[in-house]
Amino acid sequence: MEHVWVDAMELMEIANELVAGCREGREEANLDKLYAPDAVSVEAMDMGNGRETVGVEGIKGKHAWFGSMYEILDGTVGDPFPHGPDRFAVTFNMKAKNKETGVVEDMEEVALYHVADGKIVREEFFYTE
């Protein structure tokens, strides 16, 4: 199936809504609103369930897992960086406490989002251990 790329304005509307949702705690609602049902999420490393998760429900499961493991103490979500007609990147910085161990960690990642047919179809996360 050939994808229809969005125009720059639509790409930035999607990117800005994703960022606003992350800043305002509407991540789960935005999964239903902004993501294709068969979207793919790819982590930089395997956290025990493989690197790739397929489908919005699976991505919601990843969010739930992260929320069960970490308490976010502080964080920032950067503005989106557009790249051509089909991609944008966002930086995330957070201080999180591991709920199991109590260890507080500084986390930083870059997320690259691919957009087609007006929806996010792939997200890729880049970070160090």
The mean pLDDT value for 41-45 works out to: 93
Q: How confident is the model at residue 110 (pLDDT cuts 50, 70, 90)?
A: very high
Q: Structurally, how many domains does the chain consist of?
A: 1
Per-residue pLDDT of 76-91, as tens digits, reads 999 999 998 899 999 9
Q: Could you tell me the pTM of the whole model?
A: 0.90
In a domain, 78, yes or no: yes
The mean pLDDT value for 37-56 works out to: 91
pLDDT at 47: 76
What is the percent of the chain with per-residue pLDDT over 70, rounded to a whole number?
Answer: 93
CA 24 to each of CA 27, 35, 126: distance values in angstroms, whole numbers, following the listed order: 8, 18, 23
Q: How far apart are CA 61 and CA 47, in angstroms?
A: 13
In a domain, 13, yes or no: yes
In a domain, 42, yes or no: yes
Residue type, 33: K
In a domain, 1, yes or no: no
- CATH number at 78 reads 3.10.450.50
